[in-house]
Amino acid sequence: MTQALEDYLIGQQDVAQLRFLTCGSVDDGKSTLIGRLLYDAGHVLDDQHAALTADSRRAGTTGAEPDLALLVDGLQAEREQGITIDVAYRYFATDRRRFVVADTPGHEQYTRNMVTGASTADAAVILVDATKGLLVQTRRHSHVVRLLEIGEVILAVNKLDAVGYSREVFEQISDDYTRFARDLGLASVTCVPVSALRGDNIAERSPHTPWYEGPTLLECLETVPTDGGSAPQDFRLPVQHVSRPDAEFRGYAGMVVGGAIRPGDRVRALPSGREARIARIVTWDGDVDEAVLGQSVTVTLTEGIDVSRGDVLCSADRPASVATHFEARMIWMSEQPLVAGRRYLVKVGTCVVGGAVTELRHAIDVNTLEQKPAVQLGLNEIGVCDLALDRPVAYDPYEENPDLGGVLLIDPETQETIGVALLGSALTQANHLHWQRIDVDKRARAALSDQRPCVVWLTGVPGAGKSTIANILERYLHGLGKHTYLLDGDNIRHGLNRDLGFAEADRVENVRRIAEVARLMVDAGLIVLVSAISPFRAERNMARRMVGEDEFCEVFVDTPLAVAEQRDRKGLYRKARAGAIRDFTGIDSRYEPPERPDVWIETSAHSPERAVELIVERLRFMGVLS
Amino acid sequence: MRSLRYLERLEAESIHIIREAVAESERPVLLYSIGKDSSVLLHLTMKAFYPAKPPLPLLHVDTTWKFREMIAFRDRAAAELGLDLIVHRNPECVARNINPFDHGAALHTDMWKTQGLRQALDEHRFDTALGGARRDEEKSRAKERIFSMRSARHQWDPRRQRPELWRLYNPRRAQGESVRVFPLSNWTELDVWHYIYLEKIPIVPLYLAAERPVVERDGLLLMVDDDRFPLAPGETPRHRRVRFRTLGCYPLTGAIESEADTLSAVLHEVMTARTSERQGRAIDHTNSGAMERKKQEGYF
């Protein structure tokens, strides 16, 4: 038996694997379809069957029949609500193939989970309810499938039993979809009439659709190409980790995400551009004479060049590109909208750098495929933008190599993944912009005037008393002989920022410019006082990061909204309440109070003079004042 | 150019995940439960950092109710590989002598394992914990990300999982958060056995059939591993040829009758099995949402 088993197992090693996802609108029957595939492929074991029968009696929606959707809806909340919230991965096999199926949610709210499931798929099964036809979610999901370059699409026209197995209904929906898919640019679409509930044309050919001569769903899945297009041919190895067990050995560990490499091959390390030859390819199982696509290895180089995590080793003849500015397609995944100018972390391969969207070109209407102008991208919206990074990175366009062209946008505060960008071409003009080196620096300038520069940033709701305090503080510092400048939010809006309004994107840009000016002034050796509402935490923290940690003092001028509104010295709250001013902080635009300000001033308890004392105390502590 | 075979691809994916987890972590740890999945994870971790030694310790959250053979195997494995082994036992459980017989499976597991794990992670300030869980084990596991965030209180929020695209992971943590990493997410039970067979990975002998003293309770065949097992009047352990598909606390882990005393026989049995491997776990049977709830509370 051992020999037979061995032969069987060896044979199994070469059975191809297909990763696919099921998607489509809510209630189109995705979970039932997968349950049916697992069931018909004999992958429901006895104890699971018993649990299913019990669950079906308790929570099922199919009467006496087992509710196959319960095989995949694994979260309690999902079973209670009868919906799918998050993607579930299931594994099954037939004699011809093994399958990993990602069952993805249909609700628009959970699109980011659908995108998660789609990103690793070779093929997509898009379900349509025959009684409803194409819906917005059918189109949205098709769009994501196209964006992520999934080559094979199977349209499963489901619930055909509910329309009397009508050939006309099937053909109408197939025609509608094929037209939409052509406009979208989906290359390969196969339409199959099915009923997941009854098992028609899933694993077995249905007696109810004699007019249909195409393959069953399972036959489609067993025959579509598994590589999802052409595998990247040029050698790429993003370095994950530098291995230095002793003084002799220096290896670069990572996965080959393009092409192949052999000892002796010339490679270029990017972004530095230095070249060397591969000396050894080291694995636990011994050195190997070739590392191929998808393999995790450790390589050593013949020359000692500087390579670290985040760098990419490439074929010297056909290296990846290096750039800082890109055109990118973006799928946004956060409740906080994408706003041009706000700073994010960007992960490209194994490299994490700071960056920002410099321009949002347009959003895409998933229903009509129209490009529409947009100032921000909301949750689950798709758009095209310009992305600028703080320093050059190695990359390939997404179409050429998803491993180096698909990137994550990460919120630097929460560390959440808030969007993904698919990199297109580099925006070349920016590549020629360089920093000019200047010899006289901040320290030299500050030394001349015998002071330590810094930013004192006062934030608070309108009418909190920021400007009053800033004014007294500046008089005091001036009296000490310090060189100061007061940047007042209102005053700057009359000049530098007069082109900006009060929408979220404008507020972000307003604060970004103030922060940039403050940075320049600190660089010039000044003590800069900023008095600005600066409602969002992210931008205040950005301002902090622009200067040194010991050069920034955040002052929270804490006046409860009700008190500020009651004072209302400028009459602004009254106008805002009357609707004469829109996007007014505290009324119809939010204010995010600092969590850990350097100085916290409660104006109900502290006079402006006392507030200045508290700030001066802090400046002494920071070493700005002696 | 040759293309990778099926298990080679799974192996490469897991090594990539392990390296990524450790590279982005300040204090990583490998949660070592001594079972077959842990053995595979440990083997892959050795491969991931070769020729260096893995830069992370092993953590075993002990309940004092594991099979004796497991403990012996654990100590031998850590010593042979030259890795640091941290064994944590919840001191409150030690003091109160918490056990499955007097306190029930649920309380026993919650206090020893769930609370014990949280204590150990907090005590050593581990920010990244690698574990051997697989998505094909159970329905709520099938929904979990490879890099799965935990709040400062170690809780999993299935409604707020991070998007996880391609092979591009985001293990970054906000203040107080930690991340659990599951490099074997895409492996099936059969893959694990197949890999153990091909790579000749040592496993606890309890996975192979042998004559063992067992009693039958509530449909489970329980092995009487030491004299702490309270026998009912008239109940006597009988020697039967059994093996285990998963390993946990011996009073809570059901054996199956089997003749499979070699790895190849086990493989054959797994391929033709009609029940799933968690069938022998008393703790999962409370009801079908049990595992998800335990995970939300911080169970691995």
Q: Compute the count of residue pairs across chains A and B with CB atoms less than 8 Å apart.
A: 191
Considering chain A, tell me which residue range(s) the CATH 2.40.30.10 domain(s) occupy: 236-315, 322-431
Model confidence at A74, pLDDT cuts 50, 70, 90, reads: low
Give pLDDT tens digits for A388-439.
998 899 999 999 999 999 999 999 989 999 999 999 988 765 444 445 556 6
The reported pLDDT for the residue numbered B286 is 45
Model confidence at A341, pLDDT cuts 50, 70, 90, reads: confident
The reported pLDDT for the residue numbered A76 is 63
The reported pLDDT for the residue numbered B285 is 47
Lowest mean pLDDT among A345-354, A465-474, A503-512: A503-512
* Closest-CA distance of chain A to residue B293, Å: 9
For helices B263-271 and A2-12, give the axis angle rounded to 10 degrees.
60
Report whether A150 contacts A102 (CB < 8 A).
no
Chain B residues lying within 8 Å of A9, measured CB to CB: 194, 197-198, 267
Domain A442-622: top CATH class: alpha beta
Question: Higher-confidence residue: A234 or A341?
Answer: A234
CB pair distance less than 8 Å for B170 and A417:
yes
Give pLDDT tens digits for A536-588.
888 888 888 888 778 999 999 999 888 888 888 788 888 888 888 878 888 88
- The ipTM value here is 0.89
**Closest Cβ opposite residue B276 in set A45, A86, A309:** A45
pLDDT, mean of residues A86-108: 86
Which residue positions of A form the known binding site for GTP?
Answer: 24-31, 103-107
The reported pLDDT for the residue numbered B185 is 95
Chain B residues lying within 8 Å of A251, measured CB to CB: 51
Strands (DSSP E) found in A61-183 = 88-93, 98-103, 123-129, 152-158
| Phi, psi (deg, nearest 5) at residue B73 | -65, -45
Chain B residues lying within 8 Å of A403, measured CB to CB: 166-168
Chain B contact for A115 (CB, 8 A cutoff): yes
Q: How far is CA A369 from CA A180, A381, B14, in A?
A: 9, 12, 39
CA dist., res. A77 & res. A85, Å (int) = 8
pLDDT for A222 beyond 50? yes
Model confidence at B287, pLDDT cuts 50, 70, 90, reads: very low
The reported pLDDT for the residue numbered A567 is 83
pLDDT for A107 beyond 60? yes
Considering chain A, tell me which residue range(s) the CATH 3.40.50.300 domain(s) occupy: 3-229, 442-622
Determine how many CB atoms are found less than 10 A away from the CB of residue A184.
Answer: 17
The reported pLDDT for the residue numbered A79 is 62
pLDDT, mean of residues A126-132: 94
Give pLDDT tens digits for B216-225.
988 889 999 9
pLDDT, mean of residues B210-237: 90
The reported pLDDT for the residue numbered B290 is 58
Chain B contact for A91 (CB, 8 A cutoff): yes
Chain B residues lying within 8 Å of A116, measured CB to CB: 145, 163-165
pLDDT for A444 beyond 80? no
Of all residues in chain A, what percent carry a pLDDT higher than 70?
A: 92
CATH architecture designation of domain A236-315: Beta Barrel (2.40)
Tell me which residues of A are annotated as active site: 534
CA dist., res. A603 & res. A619, Å (int) = 20
A contact test, residue of B81, B166, B169 with most A CBs within 10 A: B166
Contacting A residues, span 347-366, partner chain B, CB-CB under 8 Å: 347, 349-350, 352
Lowest mean pLDDT among A370-374, B170-174, B295-299: B295-299
> Among the ranges A47-56, A178-187, B62-71, B140-149, which has the highest mean pLDDT value?
B62-71
Region B6-191+289-297: CATH code:
3.40.50.620
pLDDT, mean of residues A312-332: 93
Chain A residues lying within 8 Å of B164, measured CB to CB: 116, 119, 417
* Closest-CA distance of chain B to residue A33, Å: 16
For helices B36-49 and B6-23, give the axis angle rounded to 10 degrees.
70
CA dist., res. A470 & res. A105, Å (int) = 52
Q: Dig out the tokens for A94 from the structure.
A: 């037939």
SS (H, E, C) A284-308: CCCCCCCECCCCEEEEEECCCCCCC
Report whether A169 contacts A202 (CB < 8 A).
no
Which residue positions of A form the known binding site?
Answer: 24-31, 103-107, 460-467
Provide the whole-model pTM. 0.78
What residue in A sits closest to B284 (Cα-Cα)?
A51
pLDDT, mean of residues B200-218: 94
Q: Which residues of B195-232 are buried (b: 16+ CB within 10 A; e: fewer)?
A: bbbebebebbbbbbbeebebbeeeebbbbbbeeebeee
Chain B contact for A109 (CB, 8 A cutoff): no
- Provide the mean pLDDT of chain A: 87
pLDDT for B127 beyond 80? yes
B contact test, residue of A31, A47, A244, A282 with most B CBs within 10 A: A47
Domain A322-431: top CATH class: mainly beta
pLDDT, mean of residues B238-263: 92
**Closest Cβ opposite residue A13 in set B6, B159, B188:** B6
Region A3-229: CATH code:
3.40.50.300
The reported pLDDT for the residue numbered A575 is 84
Considering chain B, tell me which residue range(s) the CATH 3.40.50.620 domain(s) occupy: 6-191+289-297
